Amino acid sequence: MVLYGRNSVCERLKANPKSIEKVFIQDGFSSPHIERLIRQNNVPSERFSPRQLSKMKNAKDLQGIVAKVDKFSYAEFHYLLDLPKEEQLTLIFLDRINDPQNLGVIMRTAACFGGFAIVIPKFSACGVTESVLHVASGGENFVPVSMVSNISSAIIKAKKKNYWIMGAVLSDDAQEISKISLPFPLGLVLGSEGEGIRYGIDKQIDIRARIPMKGAGLSFNVAMAGTIFCHEIAKQRK
């Protein structure tokens, strides 16, 4: 895979330099911190012209640096469920998130707050691509991501491990997230960009939560909603 952009490459150099095969730096690029990390970790590097660099990755915002890295490694779901109680993570179940931008933002958000893992379906959803990693800006180094065949089955397995499941919904019967005393361990379900949470998954939800909105009758997109929910979860978990 290819990482591109200063933050993405810098965070990988700090967190997992062994996963980097080689770094390609554009002529004229200057970042003493990144260049020092490359030397300290003995990562091979090479200077390229802007044209050569753009041939490696056709993207608008390469920011003068590209790295060839190992293929993304997904976490085993059973590993997340079997963590000791003091290390348990809040699980974010994503139901059919198809936009790489949204998945990348959710990964970055989860990394910033800490204590989260992400679970995505194998089919009818976006996987962790190069575009996702660019948006995540290094978040993949701090958030386990598990890919499962069936999200509903994964939620049932989590419930058998005593996880409570909270769904982000817009229905009138949902409680305001800030007024709920959250139980832990906890799983948060975020639905697809256009259709929300599917019926089969909706049946597994223990807590129906919504974001209070006093303004226009619009809605947050899934990445924005995820940020608000993660903030409240992190606050109460602390």
Split at pLDDT 50, 70, 90, the class of 218 is low
The stretch 14-36 carries a mean pLDDT of 96
Provide the pLDDT for residue 217: 61
Q: Where are the beta strands (DSSP E) in 70-192?
A: 90-94, 116-121, 145-148, 164-168, 175-176, 186-190
Confidence check: pLDDT of 219 > 80: no
Query: What is the CATH number that goes with domain 2-69?
Result: 3.30.1330.30
The stretch 102-113 carries a mean pLDDT of 98
The structural domains of the chain, with segments of one domain joined by +, span 2-69, 77-237
The more confident residue out of 124 and 215 is 124
Provide the pLDDT for residue 161: 97
Q: Where are the beta strands (DSSP E) in the chain?
A: 2-4, 20-26, 45-48, 65-69, 90-94, 116-121, 145-148, 164-168, 175-176, 186-190, 207-210
The stretch 172-193 carries a mean pLDDT of 93
Comparing 8-17, 55-64, 122-131, the range with the smallest average pLDDT is 55-64
Provide the pLDDT for residue 122: 95
List the one residue out of 168, 114, 111, 170 whose CA is nearest residue 135: 111
Split at pLDDT 50, 70, 90, the class of 234 is very high
The mean predicted confidence, pLDDT, of the chain is 94
Confidence check: pLDDT of 146 > 80: yes
Provide the pLDDT for residue 172: 78
Provide the pLDDT for residue 192: 85
Q: Say if CB 223 and CB 105 are below 8 A apart.
A: yes
Provide the pLDDT for residue 199: 87
**For 111-126, what is each residue's pLDDT tens digit?**
999 999 999 999 989 9
Provide the pLDDT for residue 213: 81
**For 37-83, what is each residue's pLDDT tens digit?**
999 999 999 999 999 999 998 888 899 999 999 999 999 999 999 99
Phi, psi of 203 (to 5 degrees): -65, -20
The stretch 205-219 carries a mean pLDDT of 84
Distance CA 29, CA 26 (A): 5
Confidence check: pLDDT of 170 > 90: no
What class does CATH assign to 77-237?
A: alpha beta
Regarding pTM above 0.75, the answer is yes
